[in-house]
Structure 1
């Protein structure tokens, strides 16, 4: 029987939730404020914690911060039970290490399903051999494709709109993402407030991972160039997979090596290439990420192209006009149609 700790100052809600979970065959402990909740978490080591945010004595953020700092409680799944739905509040809680938010008022089956899902994923993290993968060896993930299959099966789903922010620079890098649909850009701002795009990601690529050893801040702000979907798992889970599957580490390292090679080439082009070559190089980068077998056209804002190229938007527009006059591309608003890839590639 799994043990659940409910930290909630509203007596009616606390007792109703306790009764609901007991009827669902959970062993339930309750606390009337954050300070008492921390002590009960330390004393009873629950399997999962449900915690309100706005409470007397210690609020939910402080409870989470304290428990994540303690060795004996830092891995316990932690779900906020709250009426606060502002995205800034949610992001703040997730950056502290919360696993999920359940918004009040909630349906009984939604609460139980959220708890069961989180407990199952935590159990998989602690016992990787329980997972079911294509590899005949139970629990083994030996290839990148098996890792992707695992993330699609066990990860959380994130839907995002065009211009939606996935995470911001300096947020704690608590999750690793697999892009399933759409295009993602990573960017940094220089001291003058100018945006520089550092990476582009397409379907099937990982992003948001920075270190095997420690949880570092995200190095860039990541924004959607078009609407789409991604799967994500906690960084600790991601690292645990590599600890259990050393064969996978080499294949993943090769991905990083390829990415670094492309980045080095891009930096050299940005530093020493002509405006015209930078424009062509950037167009081919976007083409690689965005074109499909059925399409020869990309849709991208001029300022995004300029940010990747490392030139002004005005210079980029002039260079695009030259390529158009040479019948290498066609332009219609945000749409750019490629007419002759071979000639474009010969220009760089």
Structure 2
């Protein structure tokens, strides 16, 4: 197999020479350019398999080079790695928004550099390979639901039983996987400085959760636990990221999931800040009912303890109990076998205060 061809764009001569020597010793063919403009011209003349590009350069800087690549049909699919002495979050975000595949901060080690290059070349090969185009998100969801089609994932292909109230991950843990709910119900919650807990998400069969922290490469800021006996599928971090990198439609679907999650949380925060007590309790009941109303036989039954419902609606337990009593007296809910049954969801929807 012919050596892979890399284009190194770096305006500092000694660093450019040293990096090129290292890459050639590692078995790559290397073209070098001392400016952004020269790098673009070289790429158009002799298309590389991957680009390593400095950010801060006179004239056409790295961001400008990437912008040209991302809009040129012959260059846009080439893996692009930024090399930079800057590691500010805003700089990283700007590069990723423009379409950079990776970001190495100077000084970087040999293993770090070669590892990043090998990873990006491998993912680019997978994107081009017809054998690796079978799993869109729709296929993946269908496979999970039928429990027999996870062959494309490397590990943890079986459902894992989780007992009611068991913690799945805790605030401060590092994400190593995302979770898919095969059966049961899961909630996520956060605790403020005063120790007050608030439910931030409800998840049931067919839902993914735990992906936000993984995508942002940070520790969990919430805790997840099972609301009832559940079965979860674990998708390892590397397999999940490979799936995103290899399938644009999967990436778009998860971006949509992330956007919807953020929008839901913003609406919840606004409601907690400005709604009356009755409205907050009504919103908590409706949130649960809407999420799980498709389950046969439990369409309008809220299987939460009073404490859990208080966390969902941002309400003290004592105030919640009084409000539920009012709703029962008004015929909006009923209490059956210790569970809340919403008998008039329309009135909950119409509550203005």
Contact 2:332 2:348 in 1 (8 A): yes
Q: CA deviation at 1:164?
A: 0.7
Q: CA deviation at 1:211?
A: 5.1
Q: How does 1:80-99 map to 2 (within 5 A)?
A: none
Q: Structure 1 residues 298, 141: closer, same or farther in 2, change over 3 A? A: farther
Aligned to 1:20: none
What are the Cα deviations for residues 122-177 of structure 1, in whole angstroms up to 9, with x where unaligned? xxx99968x9xxxxx64225643223245552434221111011111111100101
Structure showing greater radius of gyration is 2
Aligned to 2:329: 325
Aligned to 1:336: 340
Contact 1:178 1:205 in 2 (8 A): yes
Q: Report the 3-state secondary structure (helix = DSSP H, G, I; strand = E; otherwise coil) of the residue aligned with 1:210.
A: helix
Q: Report the 3-state secondary structure (helix = DSSP H, G, I; strand = E; otherwise coil) of the residue aligned with 2:310.
A: helix
Q: Report the 3-state secondary structure (helix = DSSP H, G, I; strand = E; otherwise coil) of the residue aligned with 1:260.
A: helix
- Residue in structure 1 matching 2:240, options 238, 241, 245: 238
Which aligned runs of 4 or more in structure 1 are off by greater than 6 angstroms? 125-129
| Number of aligned residues | 226
Q: Structure 1 residues 127, 337: closer, same or farther in 2, change over 3 A? A: farther
What are the Cα deviations for residues 234-284 of structure 1, in whole angstroms up to 9, with x where unaligned? 111101101011122122211222222211111110111000000000000
What is the rounded CA distance, in whole Å, between the counterparts of 2:341 and 2:329 in structure 1?
13
Aligned to 1:261: 263
Q: Structure 1 residues 327, 214: closer, same or farther in 2, change over 3 A? A: closer
Unaligned runs of at least 5 residues, structure 2: 1-110, 116-122
What is the rounded CA distance, in whole Å, between the counterparts of 2:212 and 2:240 in structure 1?
11
What are the Cα deviations for residues 184-241 of structure 1, in whole angstroms up to 9, with x where unaligned? 1111122222211111111111111125666421121101111110101111110110
Unaligned runs of at least 5 residues, structure 1: 1-69, 75-124, 132-136
What is the rounded CA distance, in whole Å, between the counterparts of 1:211 and 1:199 in structure 2?
14
Q: Structure 1 residues 247, 314: closer, same or farther in 2, change over 3 A? A: same
- State yes or no: 1:304 paired with 2:297: no
Aligned to 2:132: 139
- Residue in structure 1 matching 2:174, options 160, 172, 177: 172
Contact 2:284 2:309 in 1 (8 A): yes
Question: Which stretch shows the higher mean deviation, 247-256 or 196-205?
Answer: 247-256
What is the rounded CA distance, in whole Å, between the counterparts of 2:305 and 2:214 in structure 1?
35
- State yes or no: 1:313 paired with 2:306: no
Q: Structure 1 residues 212, 311: closer, same or farther in 2, change over 3 A? A: closer
What is the rounded CA distance, in whole Å, between the counterparts of 2:125 and 2:178 in structure 1?
19
